[in-house]
Amino acid sequence: MHATSWGLELPERRELMRELQFRYHKWDLYACGHEGILPETLVLPGEVHREVIQISERFGQILTKLEAIVARTPRLLDRLGIPREMYPILRAGPAHELQLARYDLHPTPEGGWMLSEFNEDVPGGFNEAVGLPELLGERFGRARFVGDLRGAVVEAMSPFGPVGSIFATGYSEDLQHCLIIEDWLEAAGHPTCRGSPAHVRRSWGTVKLDGTPIEAAFRYYPGEWFPRLPNFDGWRRLGDKLPMLNPLRRLIRQSKLLFSVWREEGLLSAEELAFVDRHAPWTGEAGRDVSLEQLRDEPEAWVLKQAFGRMGDSVVIGALVSPKTWSETLKEVKLDPSGWLAQRRFGHVPMPFQLGPLYPAVGVYLVNGSFAGYYSRAAPKPLLTHEALHVATAVVDP
Amino acid sequence: MWRPLSLILEIFTHLRYRSRFERLVPAIGTLGAVDVRGGDTWTRYATPRSLFELWAPAFDSPYEPYHCVTLFAALGHARTKPHPPPPGVVERIEDRPLIKVPDQPIEVHWLNQSTMVIIDIFGPAAVSLGVRFIQRGCQPVCTFDNWPHPRGVGKPEFTLAALLYYSPLVADARELIKVDSPPVWLCDASRLVGRRPSPGNFDNRYYLDDTLLPGSNFLKAQGIDRLVIILGNKSRKLAPDVEAWLADRARDGFEVFSTHLDEPALDVQPIRPVRGHFPRIGSRSAAGGFGSLVPEPSSSGG
């Protein structure tokens, strides 16, 4: 695995970024004044490409099995930290098993791959994941961009007519994701509309978004926020009957506490357990499976996360923070241990980029269980936050 | 009627629904809409990218990362209908000589290379006053981070109309804009104070966060040491996002001043903004935006 420069002069690069902004709706190209995209491409050898796909698809299968079991077991739902109001919807199950997921894998010093988390509820990054390969084209010799996220999403939604995008309307960075999906669907002949999940109504068997009938929805609104909606009663009655990419039941997979729950006896086979042990860090509930004293005494060995934290905003790595920050986090855990998990820190290998050594994470998109493309990032620390830089991903001899 | 508003009405007159779902036809304003000069020069800038670049900081400016795409992009996706302006808004704007006709460079004694100007007034008026600063050689940075909607809580379409309406004046003044020109930040003060969402509304309010306002180290690196914020009137309070940001800068040694549109010469007074919570991108994200800083997680009730 290595990184290769785009080899673009500044005016060409500027033009490419403009195209990304206006043709692919990538409006948040900059974060705090810094460009969020590396002018390099991460090149995966064919065997690595096949390995990360195999790991991701296998995880997808295991999570599908787990999701079905957990959905009908309130005791396990309780452990995931999912709002109880969501239980009836999760139990009922989705009308269609649509899936758009992204699994983030990290290379380890042992030569393997570890999964830090999966994004099964509302993964993002489509704008640059599809835009950059289309704009950069074939300029990297034998390395080619692979996957067809656009085609896979269109295919997944092909059984339906009009599609509505639902999102938190105050966030333009969420809107940009909806717009690119709408572009793809409209080009494929689907009428589209968009609005807040609070604009969804059902009457006489027809689901309407902001007054417009829809047959399916693209959801860019976190599942755990639904109980806050003023029309949540309507959603409860609607359940998961509206085909959605992704169904609300994906909330089960989104909880990081699932990393801990899957160790319960009888949930996974020995082979499945061996697989997840090989590719996911040991995880327990903070204060229950791992004592606060142990966490206090071994900060180097642990990572604390919240069940529904996103984009690294609630990930605290003991080895990377000051003793004061670690201690304050442990106080938070003590106050509300149920929402926190403790994960054994795993080794993460940096690799050379033009900016210097960065820690890569290869994001694998799955659509309905199959590989659909890459969304990779590289960060100065072994932690993916909003400061991580997107890096286009190509494959030699896929 | 105030001309930018009449322009937007004309623009959207030519945007029609062909069916419930079809996109509005982006044949914008070809039938007689006129700009500030009474002509159709504005049609040259009637695409998202051309309008964005017209109102951008200087080519290769360090301020470019803060120039926000969102509202400009909406020009290519217009799915809205005209709205009458709220009662009294047009009259209030036309009563303000500072912004009524931006035909002359602003004359203020305090503007120099080390000054950052933040205009935080009603969006169309911020655009109008911004023109006068651009004519003085300031480089604009637009922070309009929301999207028009027929039932939007905010009305950014008026701001979009103003950006088009004044485009000929900015086109003429662009040669004055240099990489090291002082920046003028254009902010829509109605970003947080639109109508409170009610059933069926579209919540398009937003905060200015650290993707739209730079930090102290960045500003110092550009030689900025003085911040001047222009408000709508004397009684107008600082918005909480800007106040928290100004307080952080004051703590880091920046001089902070304010003035308002009722002050004919825009004379400035030192202020001491109160520290508060300044929204940071850490609670939002490129891949999700799942913070909870927008006043409500979504837009409506009922």
Find which of B143, B193, B285, B294 to mutate to test the A interface (most A CBs within 10 Å of its CB): B285
Put simply, whether B216 touches A (Cβ < 8 Å) is: no
| Cα B9 from chain centroid (whole Å) | 19
Are B289 and A199 within 8 A, CB to CB?
no
Are A169 and B203 within 8 A, CB to CB?
yes
Q: What is the pLDDT of residues A268-324, one digit of tens each?
A: 999 999 999 999 999 998 888 899 999 999 998 999 988 877 655 678 888 888 899
Which pLDDT score is estimated for B39? 82
Residue B38 has pLDDT above 90, yes or no: no
Are B65 and A222 within 8 A, CB to CB?
no
Which pLDDT score is estimated for B87? 43
Are B213 and B120 within 8 A, CB to CB?
no
Are A122 and B77 within 8 A, CB to CB?
no
Chain A residue with the nearest C-alpha to that of B209: A32
Q: What is the pLDDT of residues A211-257, one digit of tens each?
A: 899 999 999 999 988 998 889 999 999 988 899 999 999 999 999 89
Are B300 and A230 within 8 A, CB to CB?
yes
Of B23, B215, B285, the CB nearest to A310: B285
Q: What is the pLDDT of residues B250-282, one digit of tens each?
A: 999 999 999 999 888 899 999 999 887 777 654
CA nearest B102: which of B29, B186, B180?
B186
Calculate the average pLDDT of chain B. Answer: 78
Lowest mean pLDDT among A91-95, A135-139, B25-29: B25-29
Which pLDDT score is estimated for A201? 93
**Does residue A368 or residue A172 have the better pLDDT?**
A368
Residue B25 has pLDDT above 50, yes or no: no
Which pLDDT score is estimated for B257? 98
Chain A residue with the nearest C-alpha to that of B294: A170
* Alpha-carbon span A305 to A191, nearest angstrom: 40
Which pLDDT score is estimated for B165? 83
Calculate the average pLDDT of chain A. Answer: 92
Residue B299 has pLDDT above 70, yes or no: no
ipTM: 0.90
Which pLDDT score is estimated for B202? 80
Put simply, whether B31 touches A (Cβ < 8 Å) is: no
CA distance B294 to chain A (A): 6
Q: Where are the domains of chain B?
A: 3-281
Confidence band of B22 (pLDDT split at 50, 70, 90): very low
Q: Does domain A282-344 have CATH number 3.40.50?
A: no
Q: Where are the domains of chain A?
A: 2-257+350-396, 282-344
Pairing of strands A2-5, A37-45: antiparallel
CA nearest A153: which of A251, A239, A219?
A219
Give the number of beta-carbon pairs within 8 Å between A and B.
150
Mean pLDDT of B163-186: 94
CA distance A228 to chain B (A): 8
Contacting residues for A94 by C-beta, under 8 A, at least 6 apart = A240, A243, A244, A247, A248, A249
With contacts defined as CB-CB under 8 Å, which chain B residues touch A309?
none
